[in-house]
Amino acid sequence: MLWSAFSLGVFAVLASSAAAQQDGDVSPPSYPSPWVYGGAKDWADAYEKAVAFVSQLTLLEKVNLTTGVGWEGEACVGNTGSIPRLGIRGLCLQDSPLGIRFADLNSAFPSGMNAAATWSKDLMYARGQAMGAEHAGKGIDVQLGPVAGPIGRAPEGGRNWEGFSPDPVLTGVGMAQTIAGIQNSGVVACAKHYIGNEQEHFREAGTTDFAYSANIDDKTMHELYLWPFADAVRAGVGSVMCSYNQINNSYGSQNSYMLNYLLKNELDFQGFVVSDWWAQHNGVASALAGLDMTMAGDQGLASGDTYWGTNLTNAVLNGTIPQWRLDDMVVRIVSALYKVGRDPYNEPLVNFNSWTLNTTGYLHPQADEDFTQVNFHVDVQDDHATLIREMGAKSTVLLKNIKGALPLTKPKSLAVIGEDAHDNPGGPNACSDRGCDTGTLAMGWGSGTANFPYLISPVTALAQQAQTDGTTFTNVSNNYALDAIAAAVTGAEAAIVFGNADGGEAYITVDGNAGDRNNLTLWQNADNVIATVAANNPNTIIVLHTIGPVIIDAYKNHPNVTAILWAGLPGQESGNALTDVLYGKVNPQAKSVFTWGKDRADWGTDVLYNTTSEAPQLNFVEGNFIDYRHFDAAGIEPSYEFGFGLSYTTFNYSGLDIRKQYGSFYRPTKGTTPPASTYGTIDYNPADAEFPAGFHAVPLYVYPYLDGPLLSGQDDMVPPGSTDNSSQPRVPAGGAPGGNTGLYDIMYIVRCKVTNTGTVAGTEIPQLYISLGGPTDPKVVLRGFDELQLSVGRSKTFKYQITRRDISNWDPVTQNWVVSAYPKKVYIGSSSRNLLLSGVLA
Ligand SMILES: *[C@@H]1O[C@H](CO)[C@@H](O)[C@H](O)[C@H]1NC(C)=O
Ligand SMILES: *[C@@H]1O[C@H](CO)[C@@H](O)[C@H](O)[C@H]1NC(C)=O
Ligand SMILES: *[C@@H]1O[C@H](CO)[C@@H](O)[C@H](O)[C@H]1NC(C)=O
Ligand SMILES: *[C@@H]1O[C@H](CO)[C@@H](O)[C@H](O)[C@H]1NC(C)=O
Ligand SMILES: *[C@@H]1O[C@H](CO)[C@@H](O)[C@H](O)[C@H]1NC(C)=O
Ligand SMILES: *[C@@H]1O[C@H](CO)[C@@H](O)[C@H](O)[C@H]1NC(C)=O
Ligand SMILES: *[C@@H]1O[C@H](CO)[C@@H](O)[C@H](O)[C@H]1NC(C)=O
Ligand SMILES: *[C@@H]1O[C@H](CO)[C@@H](O)[C@H](O)[C@H]1NC(C)=O
Ligand SMILES: *[C@@H]1O[C@H](CO)[C@@H](O)[C@H](O)[C@H]1NC(C)=O
Ligand SMILES: *[C@@H]1O[C@H](CO)[C@@H](O)[C@H](O)[C@H]1NC(C)=O
Ligand SMILES: *[C@@H]1O[C@H](CO)[C@@H](O)[C@H](O)[C@H]1NC(C)=O
């Protein structure tokens, strides 16, 4: 019996005669939904406080905390109902992973991808903490980030830049550091989008009857896509957002295997699962499959109806959803607040409004009700500009630097060329949600954005530097004025030419790109601009602002191109950060977080753009082999490999030392959980769940009240076991947030010496790779890295503690991690292909 048939997608797939091997994969059922019981030690205190809080709530109050009030019902992009009886306002959930969306007097931080490109754990943490502080300052409870899905399976993926890197370890570190930073600032982080949300095309039903299904096998799930979410859970993340797409033909918001089994059981997640906005497809099925909060609360954008709210109240009253499941939802939500130090009794005012930057506006903008002061213009920027500038510089990857082109020292003349160097004439926020590619690119488009307080364009910062140095300065912004460009660069001591490639979320199409990029080449006619500059100036320096890799092999090999820099999406201090690198005020340390191929086909993965299927099947047949793992396995030479990046100095690696650690044994987790509990008593009289007399209901607003007689007797499928409240077995790989604690035992300590052998101070990122040795394993996989600041001639020790998890594979048969018998090797180097030291892990 396929209870995953709850996902209507299954019917469609079975009906269409599927061709490829994985077409029609189904997700095994997993019930009941695991309840929290205070067993996780980092959560015990939050859990106890949450239980005390939840125990006093009525059914309607509990339902209120699980359900969004509907789109534009309140100030934030997501708002739960409130508890007026206790003076408690609704919770505020707000985009985005790089700053506060739809606000003023906030900062626009570098993208997640840029945070990863620093390879600096300290900076990743600092960014999280600063973003969290800004959200806290506006009264926000939950920041909707960071992102590990998409991880970046296909380089064309429109939202890859919101996350960190196609490498799961680098992404996992980015997740953990960002979450720790956000939550230490007192804001709940939200790890998203769980999971397989690897492209924008067909992510939702619309042009097709069903959203695409990401068909991912168990081993790939564990070793690649789930890995960074495990790090997020281990870091104590308070919430996880389930994705729009289906996984094995079951929607992310009601896939019981993904939510109940993998997330809440195996990873022992203690916080709450919130749906992506309108990603919920069924009220009862999603509740039993492990969803804890629905957003935006309405069934469709401002549709006024809801799968929960009234319907959840109804489902509890008619006995379909057991009280323990509702109570568990609410305990998880309130635990997350306490975990980060929020006090539900003393929530600060939400002092901004997503729907207007004006001082006054509507409290309920969808209904145009209650006009009052809604924006208190609280300046939350602090000195974050300093961090943003530092991160912009330290995330700029120096890909090529010949003939001593960089750093620049008071050039006599300088030409700055390209639209991407210049300001958007309408201002940096001219396009809503950054939905255009006009002027310099400093973030992609979609919900993962923030308003720029200002944006320092490259031309502004470079012109200022030129003025300081007495450099003759020319610039051309028009990418079609090729004659003027040729004239401007001829004879200039250096010519800096800019190009970009943009992408974003599916609801905005820019130049025919519906979120995902249509190609891997530059935008704005930049290839012709670069060709013109390089044909006329022997010291051509290319700067790229792109959301991912672009094809640049021709420039790598062009003799007049003396330098190439990738600056990614650096945020508001773009021009200043770039100038710091170009002029050597910051010595570049960044390493590429993805592979640069020579041809689109090199990656072996791509976006599905066109389909005749009503339930498009994305079969992840490449398994673990995305990005560098694929290039290595297929023997494809990239232009620049994963982990590559130059410095203005040089480093030497020596003295590899490997120490085996003894005495730890891996114990599969055994035993059972306690039975489910309920907190407080529920009044099962439907009459008490109706709208209170004289209640004014805001139009299009979602409420918990019954709306007429109790609906009963309808045939909602309740999967076997889903209402079982008895003790449940724990899973062998589980037992603690992030999985079995034995996975994090230290098996080897590896050290080497890194020396600055050049003539200027610099920072090196030593990278540790492991070969797991099996016939189906990638050649090498990244496992650790560090950031070593070295003055001239100085040496420091790079040390990494290899854990059991680092040398394990997922075994689908035993459903556990195993260390295979294949011989394993460790490598340390400066990129995934420059592996300078190696040794055997005996
Ligand atoms: C998806 O199907 C594959 C192949 O049957 C299986 O290995 C995997 O565990 C399934 N995953 C989910 C989430 O259902
Ligand atoms: C539920 O939340 C709504 C919106 O905030 C509020 O108007 C209503 O009074 C709340 N109901 C209960 C029972 O607390
Ligand atoms: C309850 O759910 C049903 C089925 O989706 C829907 O038709 C109805 O409008 C919902 N009720 C409310 C009050 O939104
Ligand atoms: C902001 O105020 C201006 C001027 O009063 C008004 O025209 C505009 O509609 C307001 N914007 C919103 C979103 O309320
Ligand atoms: C040079 O840059 C300035 C400042 O952005 C701009 O106003 C001007 O139009 C640019 N010049 C050309 C020829 O594009
Ligand atoms: C790739 O897409 C961009 C943006 O739509 C476009 O400007 C460019 O011309 C395209 N490249 C090619 C080779 O068609
Ligand atoms: C390099 O630039 C010079 C102008 O200084 C030009 O004459 C030459 O053709 C260029 N080389 C190439 C390969 O374009
Ligand atoms: C997808 O179909 C559109 C027409 O609907 C066509 O223009 C486009 O070239 C197709 N894209 C691919 C990648 O086949
Ligand atoms: C790097 O260090 C090793 C060991 O100390 C030494 O043999 C080698 O010559 C050094 N290489 C460079 C380029 O300095
Ligand atoms: C557990 O289920 C049993 C049988 O349905 C019921 O009697 C008991 O009250 C339930 N306990 C809780 C805590 O829900
Ligand atoms: C109980 O209520 C839910 C939510 O309104 C409804 O979907 C379901 O059909 C009802 N089931 C029964 C057995 O009454």
pLDDT in tens, 435-490: 999 999 999 999 999 999 999 999 999 999 999 999 999 999 999 999 999 999 99
Tell me the C-alpha distance between 687 and 710, whole Å: 9
Q: What is the 3-state secondary structure (H, E, C) of 8-40?
A: CHHHHHHHCCCCCCCCCCCCCCCCCCCCCCCCC
Is residue 221 within 8 Å of 258, Cβ to Cβ? no
Asked if 152 contacts 225 with a C-beta cutoff of 8 angstroms, the reply is: no
In this prediction, residue 707 carries a pLDDT of 85
Q: Is the CB of 534 under 6 A from ligand 7?
A: yes
Residue 704 Cβ < 6 Å to ligand 2: yes
- As given in the structure block, the two tokens for residue 233 are 């859970």
Question: In angstroms, how far apart are the furthest CA atoms of the chain?
Answer: 86
Compute, in angstroms, the gap from residue 583 CA to the centroid of ligand 1. Answer: 52
576-612 burial, b at 16+ Cβ within 10 Å, e below that, comes to bbbbbbbbeebbbbbbbbbbbbeeeebbbbbbbeeee
Instruction: Please give the C-alpha separations between residue 595 and each of 306, 518, 831, in angstroms, as whole numbers.
Output: 44, 18, 11
- How many angstroms separate the alpha carbon of residue 580 from the centre of ligand 4? 40
**Three state DSSP letters for 628-661:** HHHHHHHCCCCCECCCCCECCCCEEEEEEEEEEC
Ligand 10 pocket, residue 678 CB under 6 Å = yes
Quick one: CA dihedral 425, 431, 434, 436, positive or negative? negative
**Ligand 8: does its nearest atom lie under 6 Å from the Cβ of 409?**
no
Q: Which of 320, 321, 707 to mutate to test the pocket of ligand 11 (most atoms within 8 A of CB)?
A: 320
Q: Is 434 in the pocket of ligand 5 (CB under 6 A)?
A: no
Structure tokens given for 255: 């896939």
For ligand 5, what atom is nearest to the CA of residue 476? 14
Q: Is the peptide bond before 32 cis (omega within 30 degrees of 0)?
A: yes
* The amino acid at 820: S
The Cα 271–Cα 256 span in angstroms is 16
Beta bridge partners of 789: 763
- For residue 125, the number of C-alpha atoms closer than 13 Å in the C-beta half-sphere is 7
Reduced DSSP (H G I as helix, E B as strand, rest coil) percent helix, strand, coil of the chain, to 5: 25, 20, 55
Q: How many CB atoms lie within 10 A of CB 695?
A: 9
Centroid of ligand 10 to alpha carbon of 725 (angstroms)? 6
- What's the CA gap between 7 and 254, in Å, rounded? 7
Nearest residue CA, atom 3 of ligand 10? 725
Q: Where are the alpha helices (DSSP H) in 309-428?
A: 310-317, 323-339, 384-394
Q: Is the dihedral of CA 129, 132, 138, 141 positive or negative?
A: negative
Amino acid letter, residue 662: Y
Q: How far apart are CA 619 and CA 204, in angstroms?
A: 17
pLDDT at position 21 is: 44
Per-residue pLDDT of 238-296, as tens digits, reads 999 999 999 999 999 999 999 999 999 999 999 999 999 999 999 999 999 999 999 99
Report the nearest atom of ligand 1 relative to the CA of 258: 13
One-letter amino acid for residue 493 of the chain: E
Count CB atoms within 10 A of the CB of residue 282.
20
Q: Which helix (H) or strand (E) holds 809?
A: strand 809-811
Q: Distance, CA 501 to ligand 6 centroid (Å)?
A: 9
Residue with tokens 């709208």: 691
CA distances from 352 to 188, 257, 381 (A): 18, 38, 14
- 426 close to 413: Cβ distance less than 8 angstroms: no
How far is ligand 3, taken at its centre, from the CA of residue 69, in Å?
14
Residue 253's region, left for phi above 0, alpha for psi from -120 to 50, else beta, is: alpha
Q: In this structure, are residues 592 and 645 in contact, taking their beta carbons and an 8 Å threshold?
A: yes
Instruction: Give the C-alpha separation, 743 to 800, whole Å.
Output: 16
For residue 786, indicate whether it is catalytic.
no
DSSP-assigned letter for residue 135: H
Pair 504, 510: CB distance under 8 Å: yes
Distance CA(395)–CA(99), nearest Å, equals: 17
Question: Which CATH number does the domain 653-668+736-840 belong to among 2.60.40.10, 1.20.1440.230, 2.70.70.10, 3.90.1150.10?
Answer: 2.60.40.10
Q: Strand pairing partners for 715? A: none
Chain-centroid distance of CA 760 in Å reads 35
Determine if ligand 8 sits within 6 Å of the CB of residue 518.
no
Q: Which amino acid is at 794?
A: R
Tell whether ligand 8 has an atom less than 6 A from the beta carbon of residue 612.
Answer: no
Amino acid identity for residue 269 in this structure: F
Q: Measured from the CB, is residue 314 less than 6 Å from ligand 3?
A: no
Mutate to test the pocket of ligand 2, among 61, 66, 83 (most ligand atoms within 8 A of CB): 83
If one counts every other C-beta atom within 10 angstroms of the C-beta of residue 662, the result is 5
Torsion over CA: 501, 503, 508, 514 (sign): positive
Domains 384-648 and 653-668+736-840 share a fold: no
pLDDT, residue 22, reads 66
Ligand lying closest to the C-alpha of residue 207? 8
How far apart are the C-alpha atoms of 297 and 294, rounded to whole Å? 5
Q: How far is the CA of 298 from the centre of ligand 3 (A)?
A: 10
Residue of 3, 27, 247 best suited for mutating to test ligand 1, as the one with most atoms within 8 Å of CB? 27
Total residue count of the chain as it appears in this document: 842
Using an 8 Å Cβ cutoff, are 501 and 521 in contact? yes
Determine whether the shortest distance from the Cβ of 609 to ligand 8 is under 6 A. Answer: yes
Q: Please count the helices (runs of H) and the strands (runs of E) in the chain.
A: 19, 29
Mutate to test the pocket of ligand 7, among 536, 537, 562 (most ligand atoms within 8 A of CB): 536
Is the beta carbon of 314 within 6 A of some atom in ligand 11? yes
Whether 310 lines ligand 3, by a CB cut-off of 6 Å, is yes
Q: Give the SS3 label for residue 520.
A: coil
Token pair 């920072």 is at which residue?
A: 763
Q: Which CATH superfamily is domain 384-648 in?
A: Glycoside hydrolase family 3 C-terminal domain (3.40.50.1700)
Question: Which residue from 378, 336, 361 is spatially nearest to 141, judged by alpha carbons?
Answer: 336
Name the pairing type of β-strands 213-215 and 617-619: parallel
Residue 280 near residue 291 (C-beta atoms within 8 A): yes
Integer CA distances (angstroms), 35 to 24, 331, 782, in order: 30, 9, 35
Q: Strands of 746-756's sheet, edge to edge?
A: 651-660, 746-756, 795-803
Q: How far is the CA of 533 from the centre of ligand 7 (A)?
A: 9
What parts of the chain have a pLDDT lower than 70? 1-22, 713-715
According to DSSP H, which parts of 30-83 are helical?
A: 44-54, 59-66
Distance CA 162, CA 433 (A): 14
Contacts of 585 (CB under 8 A, 6+ apart): 393, 579
Q: Is 716 in the pocket of ligand 3 (CB under 6 A)?
A: no
Distance 706 CA to ligand 2 centre (A): 13
Cβ < 6 Å from ligand 4: which residues?
356, 358, 361
Q: Please check whether residue 149 is in contact with residue 175, taking contact to mean a CB–CB distance below 8 angstroms.
A: no
Residue nearest to ligand 6 atom 4, measured at CA: 523
CA gyration radius for the chain? Answer: 27
**pLDDT of 712:** 75
| pLDDT on residue 717 | 83
C-alpha angle with apex 790: 120 to 442, nearest 5 degrees?
A: 35
What's the predicted TM-score (pTM) here?
0.97
Domain boundaries defined on the chain: 384-648, 653-668+736-840
Q: What span, in angstroms and rounded, lies between the C-alpha atoms of 332 and 322?
A: 16
Catalytic residue among 276, 327, 632, 806: 276
Does ligand 10 have an atom closer than 6 angstroms to the CB of 673? no
How far apart are alpha carbons 511 and 502 in whole angstroms? 10
Contact 446, 505 (CB under 8 A): yes
